[in-house]
């Protein structure tokens, strides 16, 4: 009797093919590597035709570019933070024209590397003074040639209980149109402060997700707009046709889209979670990376 690949095995396979161009066919491997270079410099618009988005069989990885992710989310009815400015010339960021609270994110990156959040005259991620010179100094550069990386300057989405704190994040683990679990996190700087998992009906999930890291956030009431978040995640998942984690901020008036996560592994998954999510992948999209 054969068993479907585990969730971790699926993510490992996706990582090799999508992000390291390890296609089994050597010729395809080379062409995909060249295509990825082109992808990394490509910015899509929400009104582009589907053929422009579906540039190759691995097209969903294009959404990990946070500008493209914003546009794709808007294309499918999600609310984004307001875009105040974007570009790669960090010296051109109009700090004197920005509101008192804002966030800066690189278009590529994970774990909040290179992210700057200013609220109430404080920078909340790195703890540096909220002065333009200090802020520019922590903005990321490319690995190659150390050029300034393209960044997005966006509206800051505050916590609903404290205007100068980072918001609660709700991450929807979604297999095509099925939202399997909602991961609710609070953060302090770049670190996860506490987390808890809920089912789509907001019942707490009792199984442990991460090896050696039990759920430690207090239980909270479901947001009034839970149904809207589930609808948005299902629309995005249906459009992509495979597993993806969709990350939202808990806004005052509804979910605010943040970003896509293709290989989310904060810590190793428990065997129970690994097998459960592996079965869901096999059930909903067995032949899709």
95 CB-side CA count, 13 A: 15
Please give the distance of CA 9 from its chain centroid, rounded to a whole number. Answer: 20
Which residue in the block uniquely carries the two structure tokens 């009431």?
Answer: 221
Helix H or strand E encompassing 277: helix 271-284
Q: For residue 12, give the 3-state DSSP assignment.
A: helix
Q: Which residues contact 58 (CB under 8 A, 6 or more apart)?
A: 17, 18, 32, 289
**Alpha-carbon distance values, 202 to 176, 221, 226, 276, 278 (Å):** 20, 8, 8, 18, 22
201 CB-side CA count, 13 A: 1
Task: Mark the ranges of the chain whose per-residue pLDDT is less than 70.
Answer: 1-2, 25, 27, 111, 144-145, 189-190
pLDDT of residue 145: 63
Q: Which residues contact 215 (CB under 8 A, 6 or more apart)?
A: 195, 196, 197, 208, 209
pLDDT of residue 44: 96
Beta bridge partners of residue 122, listed in sequence order? 119, 129
C-alpha 282/C-alpha 141 separation (Å) is: 39
Beta bridge partners of residue 184, listed in sequence order? 170, 196
Q: For residue 105, give the 3-state DSSP assignment.
A: strand
Domains of the chain with CATH codes: 7-80+165-284 (3.30.470.20), 83-155 (no CATH)
**CB distance 88 to 151 below 8 Å:** yes
**Strand order across the 83-87 sheet:** 83-87, 151-155, 102-106, 116-119, 122-123
C-alpha 16/C-alpha 21 separation (Å) is: 6
In 101-220, where do the E strands start and end?
102-106, 116-119, 122-123, 151-155, 169-175, 178-188, 191-198
**What's the pLDDT tens digit per position in 249-281?**
999 999 999 999 999 988 899 999 999 999 999
Q: Which residues contact 180 (CB under 8 A, 6 or more apart)?
A: 173, 174, 200, 276, 277, 280
**Alpha-carbon distance values, 144 to 49, 87, 102, 140, 274 (Å):** 32, 18, 28, 12, 36
Q: Is 278 exposed, middle or buried (0-12, 13-18, 19+ CB in 10 A)?
A: buried
pLDDT of residue 190: 65
pLDDT of residue 230: 98
CA nearest to 281, candidates 56, 1, 44, 13: 13
């Amino acid at each position: 009797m054969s068993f479907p690949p585990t969730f971790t095995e699926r993510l490992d396979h996706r990582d090799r093919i999508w992000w390291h161009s390890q296609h089994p066919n050597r010729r395809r491997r080379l062409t995909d590597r060249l295509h990825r270079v082109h992808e990394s410099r490509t910015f899509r618009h929400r009104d582009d035709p589907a053929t422009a988005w579906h540039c190759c069989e691995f097209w969903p990885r294009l959404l990990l570019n946070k500008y493209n992710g914003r546009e794709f989310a808007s294309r499918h009815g999600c609310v984004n933070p307001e875009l105040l400015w974007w570009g790669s010339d960090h010296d051109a960021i109009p700090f004197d024209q920005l509101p008192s609270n804002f966030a800066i994110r690189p278009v590529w990156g994970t774990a909040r590397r290179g992210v700057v959040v200013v609220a109430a005259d404080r920078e909340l991620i790195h703890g540096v003074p909220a002065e333009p010179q200090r802020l520019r100094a922590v903005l990321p550069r490319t690995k190659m040639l150390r050029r300034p990386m393209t960044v997005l300057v966006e509206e800051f989405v505050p916590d609903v209980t404290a205007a100068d704190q980072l918001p609660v994040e709700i991450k929807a683990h979604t297999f095509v149109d099925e939202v399997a679990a909602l991961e609710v996190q609070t953060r302090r700087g770049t670190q996860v402060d506490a987390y808890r998992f809920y089912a789509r009906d907001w019942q707490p999930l009792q199984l442990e997700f991460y090896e050696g890291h039990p759920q430690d956030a207090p239980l909270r009431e479901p947001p009034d707009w839970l149904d809207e978040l589930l609808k948005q995640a299902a629309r995005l998942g249906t459009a992509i046709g495979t597993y993806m984690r969709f990350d939202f901020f808990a806004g005052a008036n509804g979910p605010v889209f943040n970003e896509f996560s293709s290989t989310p592994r904060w810590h190793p998954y428990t065997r129970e979670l690994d097998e459960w999510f592996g079965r869901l992948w096999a059930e909903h999209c067995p032949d899709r990376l």
